[in-house]
Amino acid sequence: MDYKRDSLVLQESASRAVKLAADYAHHTMKPDGHWITELRATVCFTAEYICLRRAMGPPLSQMETAEMRRWIEAQQDASDGSWGLAPGCKGDLNTSTEGYLGLRLLGVPPEEAHMQKARAFILSTGGLNKVGVATQLMLALTGLVRWEDMAHVPAELILMPRASPLSIFAFSYWSRVTAVAIMVLRHQRPVHRIVPEDFLDELYLDPMDRNLHFTPPLGALWRDGEMGRFFGSLADKVAGFAEPVLTRVPGLRSYALSQCVRYILERLDDGGYGSFWNSNFAAIFALHAHGFSTKHPVLQHLLKSVDNSLWKDHDGMRMQVTIGPVWDTALMALGLLETGLSDDRMELTVQWYKNHQILETRGDAHGKNQRLIPGGWPFQYCNSHFPDTDDTLVALLVMIMHNSEDISSQSSIRAIEWLLEMQCSDGGWGCFDLDGDNRYLNLFPFGQGNEFWDPSDAGITGRIMECLGYILSMPSFAKTGSPILRVGVVNAYHKGLKFVEATQEEAGIWFSRWHANYINATSSILCGLMYSAHDEAGSEQIDKIIASPLSWLKSVQNPDGSWGEDVASYSDASMIGKGAGTPTQTAWAIMGLLAFLPPTDAAITKGVEYLVRTQTPSPVSEADGTGIGPGPGATWRQREYVSVGFPDILWLDYASSRHGYPMIALGRWLHKMKEM
């Protein structure tokens, strides 16, 4: 076998692949230099959108009805009639209930065969009595379950001081904005009679028992030794008993409600309220219940904001949980930059980022750190009170990789300073919040089916360390960067390194909160550590850290050269590192291995061969269902969801991931091959 010839052939094939990928990326770029791709999730958001349109108007058109029905039905598992949290996942009671209700609201008769199968599945998993908090909310709004049966969220929580463990600012961003709106709803208890009260009676095991049984009885929790949930449920009972007392205190409830509404209104921007589905959905109904008419400019703005998240293509129409142009743009742009195939259009991308940077609004995180000066980016077009670290680091990388002199720009300096101040006390970084490790909040019944904490995450920490390491390696930063800022970057990197050491598991790997799972975090940290390898003082320390994760990544490679890790790994330890190969996870693994191994390493070579081999034919058609769009060039297909909203509650898949990450991995591999 001629290894040199084979290597040259693979380089030529990889070069063709990245050229095709770059053609596709450039074609799908918007005129102003950004990208927007689909964010796949469950059918729940589409079902809830159908409910919203029925309640608030305008009525769905025939086209919308047909397209949404087609998409919801296509997601159903034909074998048992259920809907799961992602393709290939087992059926889920909440998702199946909402999918069934969505179709019923679209006019699909319950007698149809696929509806009967769905009903049988729902009944076999507990029926309507067992649905979770988010599904309960939609059912309560339509009068299909009683508000009285739902978990208690007294509006007076808004009045708790920030230092209180029950302050709304102890909640994670996404749960905070939704909870404030639900506080209003829980008091007002609105019912929109868009369907008869017995509309879903066929989903009760006993139609005479319409009570919710989502939370186990206190006695059962005590017997099972679940003391945390026992005391959380007990607190919920106490809140229920206290409700009449609180409402009788003169002026207290009305003042609390006014503060809830004020919180919502103060955080409205072009993305609506919180800029994702759950918060916008709850806020629309909450403000309407508080007295805002559907014609009020605020409600009109919110209704328009949610419509901006609709996605329509060859497969039908659906509602996305949110949209991520800042993230999508970064992955596509970094793919072009890493392959060396960017052109003058990247100037548009950089300017787009500068136009969307948050430089004035002091968001909620400022309350925990008064030194935090605005300078980050959100995931969405606009979410001015809630920028996040992951999007900020990738936006910053795009700017300084395109033009190294940009490191001294006000935009880059503000972004770096913001990232440094967002570092948590344990040395890691969370996503939206500082020191958000408040796990006790999920012990309350209201916390079931959500995640109330935003702790330091190994995956994000690794990516920020890679960004900071890249900055420290830049000659332009050494020449023009502030000495004080440079010291801050060095200190933050070393604090991050301590977090990495502290969170490394026995197998030498790391858990990822936001992307599946150990492959992502382990690869991200390896990429973050590669800059430490050049520091002689720390090289021995790094050698000890990296040996096990490098071996582990090689050990979990699939026979076809790919890597894959099923989202089941979040609940089943036997699935860690195992799953059908995906282009996204294969790219992550290649990037991690390339940080410390030569590009000719056998595992890396097999991974590169897999990415080259599985690229789509050119051109990309609408029927390919890429979540990006048709165009010349080529991309990669991916059925599996590899990202996370809330583990075991909401799985996600960013269409930009399956295109951008393979470009980055192949670009880095080609660059290293040329250096040999």
Q: What is the pLDDT of residues 555-602, one digit of tens each?
A: 999 999 999 999 999 999 999 999 999 999 999 999 999 999 999 999
Active site residue 426: no
- Tokens 């933050």: give the residue: 492
Work out the percent of the chain whose per-residue pLDDT is above 90: 82
Report the b/e string of 410-440 with b at 16+ CB within 10 A. ebbebbbbbbbbbbbebbbbbbbbbbbebeb
Token output for 410: 């006000």
Is 70 exceeded by the pLDDT of residue 538? Answer: no
HEC readout, 130-154 = HCCHHHHHHHHHCCCCCHHHCCCCC
What is the average pLDDT across 116-134?
95
Higher pLDDT, 369 or 657: 657
Is 70 exceeded by the pLDDT of residue 3? Answer: no
Token output for 259: 């503060």
Bond from prior residue into 662 cis (ω within 30 degrees of 0): no
Q: How do residues 385-423 score in pLDDT, each as one tens digit?
A: 999 999 999 999 999 999 999 999 999 999 999 999 999
DSSP string, 548-561: HHHHHHHHT--TTS
Q: For residue 24, how many C-alpha atoms fall within 13 Å in the half-sphere facing its CB?
A: 32
Instruction: Give me the residue spans of the domains in the chain.
Output: 42-319
Residue type, 398: V
Bond from prior residue into 619 cis (ω within 30 degrees of 0): yes
- Tokens 């800022």: give the residue: 485
The predicted structure's pLDDT at residue 534: 57
State how far the alpha carbon of 516 is from the alpha carbons of 195, 416, 661, 674, in Å.
39, 27, 14, 31
* Nearest-5° Cα angle at 219, 216 to 221: 55
Higher pLDDT, 537 or 643: 643
Is 80 exceeded by the pLDDT of residue 635? Answer: yes
Strands 643-646 and 650-654: antiparallel
Query: Which candidate in 390, 426, 457, 624 is catalytic?
Result: 390
Nearest to 660 by CA among 309, 342, 315, 353: 342
Helix or strand run (H / E) with residue 6: helix 3-28
Q: Average per-residue pLDDT in the chain?
A: 93
> The domain 42-319 is classified under which CATH number: 3.30.300.30, 1.20.140.10, 1.50.10.20, 1.10.1040.10?
1.50.10.20
Residue type, 4: K
Which range (104-113, 439-448, 505-514, 664-673) has the least confidence? 439-448
Distance in angstroms (rounded) separating the CA atoms of residues 91 and 97: 10
Model confidence at 225, in pLDDT bands (50, 70, 90)?
Answer: confident
